[in-house]
Chains A and B, each alone.
Chain A
Amino acid sequence: MSEQMKKEFLGLISQYCEMPENDLKPEMRFREDLGFNSLNFMAFLGDIEDTFDVELDEQKAVTLTTVAEALDYLEELTQEEA
C-alpha cells in the first residue's frame, strides 16, 4: 500500500475520533481505544468504500478490530482491484 493511501486512510479514521492521525497506532482498537460505536463504524466502512473505490465484504468488515487489521484488509482489496 502506498504511503499516500495509508495517510489518507489514517486521515479518514481521525475524522471519526478525537485522535490526530499522527497519533494513531496499528494496534489501536476501533471500539475500545478510538470510541467507535456501531453506527459510526458502519458509516466509516461506507466511507472506505467510497474513498478507495473498493467493495467490502460486510460480514468480514464488521469483524475488523484494530487499525492494523483494517489496513491489511484494505491492502488486500486494493491488490484485488489492481
Chain B
Amino acid sequence: MEKELYPLNVGQMLQYLPIKETGTQRCCNISVFCGLQSPIDFGLLKHAVQDEFQRADCLRLRFTAPDENGDVMQYVVDHDDRDVPFLDLSGMTMSEADAYLQSKTYEEFNAPDIPMAEFTMVKMPEGYNGLYIHIDHRLTDSTALIVTVNDIMEIYCHYRFGSEYPAPLASFIDVLKKDLEKAGNSKRQAKDEKFWRDMLTEHGEPIYSDIQGPGVLRASRKAHGDRTLCAADVEKKDRSVGIADFHLEPEATQNMMDFCMNHNISMTNLILLAMRTYLSKMNGGQQDITLRNFVSRRSTREEWTCGGSRTLSYPCRTIITPDTEFLDAAYKVQDVQNRVYLHSNYDPMKVKAMMKELYPTPDDTEYISMSLTYQPMPVRMKNEHLKGINVRSVWYPNGAATKKIYLTVTHSTNDGGLIFDFHYQKASLTYHDMELLYYYMMKIIYKGIAEPDMTIGEIITYI
C-alpha cells in the first residue's frame, strides 16, 4: 500500500530549520532519562513501551529524503515492533552514568525512512530504574514527551498492579490534518498577518539588549561600521553549550504562584518581567526590551495528547518606563502576550521574514539575547501505586546552543519547587553570569511580589 505523505506542521518546521541550516540532525535531538528510585519489572516496562509505540502514532513517524529544496515530508508506519534494549549502568557513579547517556545524546538519526525515536531501559546508580529516551524534536516537544512518559508509567501500573488502562491518545495525523486546514484558512491568515505587521511597526525598530551590557551592541555596530545598528551579531561558529541549573524552594515557588493567582498573572509573564527588568538594569535603564517566548501550542484535549512538536516562538517586546509600578508592568507584559497568543497560529518564520523586510539588518544579527520556555506540566507519577517514590528526570542537552541564553523553567517532580535551567553559549558567557542572572531575577521577583506598587525604576535601584 502506498504511504500517505504529509508536510511538516509549523512547529515541526521550526525544529527542522536548524537541521537545514547546519546540516546536522543533532541540533534537533531531545534526550531524557526518567526513572524511579525503586525496583522495576523491566519485562513489564518493555511491554508498556511497546504498547506506547502502538498507541502514539507520532512515535512511528518517518521522514522522506529531502527534495531539491531541502524539504521533507512525513508519514506514519503501521507498526514498530523493535525490541527495547536494556542498559545496566548501576556499577557507575551517577555522574559517570549521566556522562554516558550524555554521549548517546549526540547520536544522530541521519537517514530517510528510519525510526526517529529510541527507547532504552536503564538501571542507573543509587537504585534508579527507568527509561532513556532519545528522539527527534519533530516527533515530540517537552510537553508531549512528558505526556508519553506519564502514559508509559500508567500502562506499566496497569500490567504491574492491575490499575485501569489509560484512555487512548489522540492521533497525531488527525490533529495534523486539522492544523494544515487551519493554516490554509485565508481569512485567519490575513488577520494574523495584519496583527504581526501592526505589532512590528507600532514602535519602530526594536533594539538589542544583553546581560553583558550595551558593549555587546556597540561591538556589533563597530564591526558593521554602522552607528545606528540596533541588532547584535549571533554566535555561529562556537555553539558549545553550558548548563546552569538552580532550584527555587517550594515555599518561594508557592509565593510566586499565589501572587500569580491573586493578580491573575501567568507564571510565564512574571518570569518574562523579571528577565526584562534585569536586562533593563544591565543596559542603563533601557526601556525597550525584546525577549523570545516559546509556547507549546496545546489548547484542546486532542492537542495535549497527540504528540509531535507544537512549540512555537515569538518575540515579546515591551516598552516599560521606570515609573511603572511592578504590577502594572506585569499586566503590560501579559497584555502583549495575550495578543500574541491570539495570533499564535501564524508561522513564526513568516514573522521573522516580515521583521527582516521591515528592518533589513545584516545577516546573522538578532534583537534578542534571551529566550524562555515555561513548562507547567511536571513528570508526575500520579498513579497511587507510585506515590511517594523519588523520581529522577534529567534532560541531556544536544550540544548545540542556537540561542545565546535559553531558560527553561519547570516544576520539580519531587517537591514542586521551580527549576531554572539555563542553557548558554559558552563562547561568550560563563556559569557565573547565569548565577548572577538567576540571583537578580529572584531578587526582582521577591521585591515585586512583596511590594507590587513599587516602580520598576525603584526596583532596579534597590537590587
Chain A interface (Cβ < 8 Å from any Cβ of B): 15-18, 31, 37-40, 42-46, 49-50, 58, 62
Contact = CB atoms under 8 A, between A and B. Distances in A.
A50 B182 contact: yes
A65 to B, nearest CB: 10
Interface string B276-308: 000000000000000000010111111000000
Contacts of A62: 338
A50 B185 contact: yes
A46 B183 CA distance: 13
B337 interface: yes
Interface stretch (B200-208, B339-347, B402-410): B339-347
Contacts of A46: 188, 342-343, 345
Interface in B216-272: 264, 266, 268-269
A58 B299 contact: no
Nearest to A42: B341
Contact of A16 (B264, B301, B344): B301
Contacts of B298: 40
Contacts of B266: 37-38
Which 10 pairs from chain A and chain B are nearest by CB? Answer: A42-B341, A40-B299, A43-B299, A42-B342, A15-B300, A38-B266, A39-B341, A16-B300, A46-B342, A42-B338
B334 interface: yes
A38 B182 CA distance: 20
A46 B297 CA distance: 13
**DSSP class of A's interface residues: helix, strand, loop or mixed?**
helix
Contact of A39 (B182, B185, B188, B299): B299
Contacts of B295: 39
B299 A45 contact: no
A42 B269 CA distance: 15
Given A40-B300, A50-B185, A58-B339, 16 more contacts: A39-B295, A39-B297, A39-B341, A39-B344, A40-B299, A42-B341, A42-B342, A42-B344, A43-B299, A43-B344, A45-B342, A46-B342, A46-B345, A50-B188, A58-B342, A62-B338
Most buried by B among A37, A42, A44, A45: A42
Nearest to A14: B301
Nearest to A50: B188
A45 B295 CA distance: 17
10 contacts: A38-B266, A38-B268, A38-B337, A39-B297, A39-B299, A42-B341, A42-B342, A43-B300, A49-B191, A58-B339
Interface string B361-385: 0000000000000001000000000
Contacts of A15: 300-302
Given A50-B188, A58-B342, A38 B299 contact: no
A38 B338 CA distance: 7
A19 to B, nearest CB: 10
A50 B182 CA distance: 9
Nearest to B296: A39
Most buried by B among A45, A46, A58: A46
Contacts of A31: 264
Interface string B162-186: 0000000000000000000010010
Nearest to B195: A58
A42 B298 CA distance: 12
Most buried by A among B185, B191, B339, B341: B341
Contact of A43 (B264, B297, B302, B334): B297
Nearest to B376: A37
A69 to B, nearest CB: 16
B265 to A, nearest CB: 9
Nearest to A37: B266
Contacts of B344: 39, 42-43
Contacts of B185: 50
A22 to B, nearest CB: 16
B326 to A, nearest CB: 19
Nearest to B302: A15
A43 B301 contact: no
A80 to B, nearest CB: 17
Most buried by B among A40, A45, A49: A40
Contacts of B334: 38
Most buried by B among A17, A39, A46: A39
A45 B300 CA distance: 12
